[in-house]
A and B are shown apart, each in its own frame.
Chain A
């Protein structure tokens, strides 16, 4: 609050000498050990601050930090919920990477899903956002229609619909057959079930699209006009104006969507009836963790899995934040 009060006070004070005096007083106040009144005020603020934060603090410590520490401990134990956890050191982690082909497969399909699905989803989101940005009038209806799947995409209802759409003799199979492509149902097909899951993710392009669209609207039109004067074609304008001006939004969307993609659960569960099939091809990380932890009650092993994921996500976030200097351009800064 100090800067605001200062500006109000200085505005009222008027003459520059008074302003200078005020500034000196303020500076003195900041350096000299705080007076009793000031200290009382600080204490009051601290009490108020933590008072307002009580519910959040209880949740943060009791439902996030505490469980995280406990989970880290469990990761080094064998625990089935009913007997005491038994310390087994790094065994869970060793087993994961050397003796559990299902785990390796789960990692592989999850990585394919995340690393292929996310770029496609973001490309679709950016493409459609640019299309919508071409014209204001009439775009509201389309924007809302495209956004709707993002709200319901993770629901059980949509998973059920998706399975029906891609089953043998379902609408997709039927349409493709009409064009002479007879590949049958996607649901039971080992090669097609991941593309089907990726399509379900891409179908929810609306949320990043809305964010892209808001970003596009903030790009000053003059930049495009200036580029045109320099003889830039559509590709050059896209490459040299749109992408740099939108890079902070791209960064945000990329981070958010990558992290979201790792957490796919309900759709994989419903589409495979909880089995992760066919042949483990929908046994995504979360589903496998759920099965190990809650169906097999191997809670130590599942906790170890969770921590590997936390570390993986942390590394991805770290890389993104580190590299953002080289490709993310914030307006008002010189690169």
Chain B
């Protein structure tokens, strides 16, 4: 677990000269051809990778009866029927209710994760106290722990506390920094902040709480944004959690509602299933398009500084 450092390699400069300067024109031409090939190959890959999403989007305009004979991209009889139909919802619950439920859970998860993870990360990164090393190792250990081992006892616990069919089991863990990935991400970020300002504030008599709120929090905004986006998306997509804990249809978040469509209408009303599937992805796709730089940077740093 070290950061990358350029190893010292001595290069004999002169030895490179002949290779780079002979026949410049042919080299340039070859380079252009290579670039075109590069572009075409990547474009082909992009088409394959994005095909399922494009298929999903365009299929939402196919009438249900068309799915059996037209597996292609372009609807033969394009229609908005699927959308007007799905707005009514399913199992007596309108579609917007599922969206509202998903949004509520995801927003609460974001708030909880940011507060609890930032506090824990500050302690791990900036405070020297007895046991910090062991606790940090334990935190990293939970990163690798399969969640299977805790879902059953957690379920039993929430069931005994009569909290099943509420959102508490989905939201409470986020306020307790159980998502170690984000604690780790923020720890890495804080470690890269020079301590000069902390020290200066300290000399001026500021305690950890002051330093945390007035110096660290403003500086770790990029890490907080990355954590917020990932928490939102993962919570929005989460299937197992609500499958275990949410029983009443009016409390269903989207993934569970989608299962209703999938089970009830997989043969009869395919158009509705596809339309809801697409709508459920829209918030994530918007997030992705707006924040892609943060997401990609977040993933990259996480890998390199691990």
A residues near B, CB below 8 A?
1, 4-5, 8, 42, 45-46, 48-56, 58-60, 62-64, 66-68, 70-71, 74, 81, 128, 131-132, 134-135, 138-139, 142-149, 151-152, 154-158, 160-162, 164-165, 169-171, 173-174, 203, 207, 210-211, 213-215, 218, 220, 222-223, 225-226, 228-229, 248-249, 252-253, 255, 259, 262-263, 265-266, 269-270, 273, 285-286, 289-290, 293-294, 299, 302-303, 305-307, 309-310, 313, 317, 330-333
Contacts and interface: CB of A to CB of B under 8 A. Distances in A.
Given A81-B159, A131-B42, A1 B9 contact: no
Determine chain A's interface SS by DSSP, over half rule: helix
Given A134-B38, A170-B71, A210-B296, A55 B175 contact: yes
B299 A8 contact: no
A131 B259 contact: no
Contacts of B285: 148, 152
Interface residues of B, number: 110
B153 A148 contact: no
B20 to A, nearest CB: 9
Contact of A171 (B4, B68, B72, B270): B72
Contacts of B255: 155-156, 266
Contact of A226 (B2, B9, B34, B270): B9
Interface of B: 2, 4-7, 9, 11-12, 15-16, 19, 34-35, 38-39, 41-42, 45-46, 49-53, 55-56, 59, 67-69, 71-72, 115-116, 119-120, 122-124, 127-130, 132, 135, 138-139, 142, 144-157, 159, 173, 175-178, 183, 195, 198-199, 202, 207-208, 212, 233, 236-237, 239-240, 243-244, 254-255, 258-259, 262-263, 266, 270, 273-274, 277-278, 280-281, 284-285, 288, 292, 295-296, 299-304, 306
B38 to A, nearest CB: 6
A160 B144 contact: no
Contacts of A160: 258, 262, 273-274, 277
A74 B301 CA distance: 39
Contacts of A147: 292, 295-296, 299
Given A155-B281, A210-B300, A148 B9 contact: no
24 contacts: A45-B128, A49-B129, A52-B123, A56-B177, A59-B178, A64-B150, A67-B157, A68-B145, A68-B150, A71-B152, A139-B42, A147-B295, A149-B53, A152-B281, A152-B285, A155-B280, A156-B259, A161-B56, A161-B274, A171-B55, A222-B9, A263-B147, A273-B263, A306-B149
Determine chain B's interface SS by DSSP, over half rule: helix
Nearest to A259: B144
Contacts of A262: 146
B274 A169 contact: no
B153 A157 contact: no
A114 B2 CA distance: 27
Contact of A156 (B115, B154, B178, B280): B280
Nearest to B233: A151
A224 to B, nearest CB: 10
A-B pairs with lowest CB-CB distance, top 6: A59-B176, A211-B303, A49-B129, A67-B153, A52-B123, A214-B300
Contacts of A330: 2
Contacts of B59: 164
Nearest to A58: B176
Contacts of A8: 199
A194 B94 CA distance: 36
Nearest to A5: B199
Contacts of A174: 71-72
Contacts of A66: 153
Nearest to A310: B149
A149 B177 CA distance: 26
Contacts of B129: 42, 45-46, 48-50
B304 A214 contact: yes
B7 A331 contact: yes
Contacts of B288: 144, 148, 151
